[in-house]
Homo-oligomer: A and B are copies of this chain.
């Protein structure tokens, strides 16, 4: 039986999972691949550190040339996070003739064009199933299984940390800070969780999916994004009263040939599949013009689910499937973007609005007046009892009919300047009828 030798760079959470599968499940992998995949060397920054996995001492070093200079090793799994030294190591591995597998979404979102062009020039491939949605094989499904389709819509819960925090706030009654601390205690959130909770991580993943599904050449920082860092437990409760659940939703959707991209806390009607995604799970709903609606649900992070995706890429690369896909798709090429982004202000959505107003007569009329002048029509209003803990403010919750993003933004800015308004208003999109 043929043998493909593998190098791993990075022995953190994911790297340890990959090393474990390669060493402990070698026979199973060989059965799936029709060849042996053999781990030959692992490069780490500190070889003396005690690890959760026991590897032969000479298999682990801090020396990247133990992989780059070893002509027996044909595939390298780059499993370190961040941009540098990941980028430099990726270029060195490609230059030394290795095909690359990586789980580093930030690296691809930032330096995808450079890395993919270099790989193409060198006749090498890059596989990155693990970069988006962890254990859900969404990259292969979009780039291979749905090749007959024009994808028209893609909606995802792509950040498990945010989803876990929201679930804890909703089901466990925690504050945002308590839920974040719990996520960190369980290892779902990084020591610095900024990129998770401000929507950046989801935007990086969305940029990758939009590239695959729509040929969009967009930098993730150009995607309008709102995180969950200002999410108020009161809105989770009011949304539930209305029959909705709030999720951090990443959207890529065609509107008359132009692409809408956004990441934001969004109300989803209970019973819709995305509304039922709990804890650290991820999910992606894809609509294709031939296949109709497909829904994928699974663990979006964690050692073994992510390792499952990395090892699938290693197998695909060892047998040659990954190279075929890589060269057929011309990903991250300099080719012109196939779609332009929509003007987000022109798009219409339904909105959830919450105002904290003074308990005076005429307040509702004043708010409705502003909304009406901006062509925002109200579908329902719930005026709650004055909130004793908040200085007698009256929470006023509204659901709108379809209104443009631009008009609602302008109206909210205008409303927030009214003397009757006691704190910044809340505005979130609504999915589902």
Residues of A participating in the B interface, judged by any CB pair closer than 8 Å: 17, 21, 25, 28-29, 31-35, 129, 135-137, 140-141, 143-150, 215, 271, 273, 276, 288-299, 302, 304-305, 307-312, 315-316, 319-321, 324-325, 327-330
Contact = CB atoms under 8 A, between A and B. Distances in A.
Contact of A137 (B135, B141, B295, B327): B141
A34 B330 contact: yes
A328 B318 CA distance: 11
- Specify which of A137, A299, A329 lies most central, judged by the most chain B CB atoms within 10 Å of its CB: A137
Contacts of A21: 148, 290
List the number of copies, as a whole number: 2
Nearest to A143: B32
Nearest to A292: B299
Given A293-B298, A293-B299, A295-B297, A319 B324 contact: yes
A305 B137 CA distance: 19
A31 B135 CA distance: 27
Contacts of A143: 32
Contacts of A33: 147, 328
A328 B289 CA distance: 32
Per CB-CB distance, the 7 closest pairs between chain A and chain B, nearest first, are A34-B328, A148-B311, A137-B145, A32-B147, A290-B308, A291-B308, A135-B291
B147 A29 contact: yes
A148 B312 contact: yes
Contacts of A305: 290-292
Nearest to A325: B321
A247 to B, nearest CB: 16
A145 B140 contact: yes
29 contacts: A17-B290, A21-B290, A25-B148, A29-B148, A32-B143, A33-B328, A34-B327, A34-B329, A135-B290, A135-B294, A137-B141, A137-B146, A140-B140, A140-B145, A144-B315, A144-B316, A147-B311, A276-B276, A289-B304, A290-B304, A290-B305, A290-B311, A291-B298, A292-B298, A294-B296, A294-B298, A297-B297, A320-B320, A321-B325
Contacts of A271: 276
